[in-house]
Amino acid sequence: MYSYKHKVKYYETDKMGVTHHSNYIRFMEEARTDFLISHGFDYAKLEEMGIISPVVSIECKYRNTTTYPDVIDIFVSVEEVKAAKIRFNYIMKKADDTVCIEAASEHCFITKDGKIARLKKDFPEFFEAMTKLAENK
């Protein structure tokens, strides 16, 4: 499972000193972006290939809080790849291995002209790479 580290910034906390819940969605994007880069598919490359990938669903279970300056390990994996969708899973842990967040995001794929992209047919290199990652989770 791929791991990305995020150090909680002071401005990401609320008045009580706890990381504001909305920031975990940003952390997921940071980790997912880094994950894709590590597998040769940064967003710039995907867009050059003609793929646009909006988020269609987010699930987030808040298990424990984080505070400034905690370092969070964000573990990212591909759960499932379908014809025009992909689902990523995230587990966020503190340095002491305490699970803070269990989450998932689902993304569809469309072409630049707004049509649904069929990954296996239209972008086989990306489809095959993500399918292999899902199989090896």
Q: Which residues are catalytic?
A: 14
Q: Which residues contact 4 (CB under 8 A, 6 or more apart)?
A: 30, 31, 34, 35, 73, 74, 75, 76
Q: Which residues contact 126 (CB under 8 A, 6 or more apart)?
A: 41, 46, 49, 51, 119
Fill in the amino acid letter for 126.
F
Distance CA(135)–CA(44), nearest Å, equals 25
Distance CA(18)–CA(23), nearest Å, equals 11
Which residues face 76 on adjacent strands?
A: 2, 90
Residues 36 and 43 sit within 8 Å (Cβ to Cβ): yes
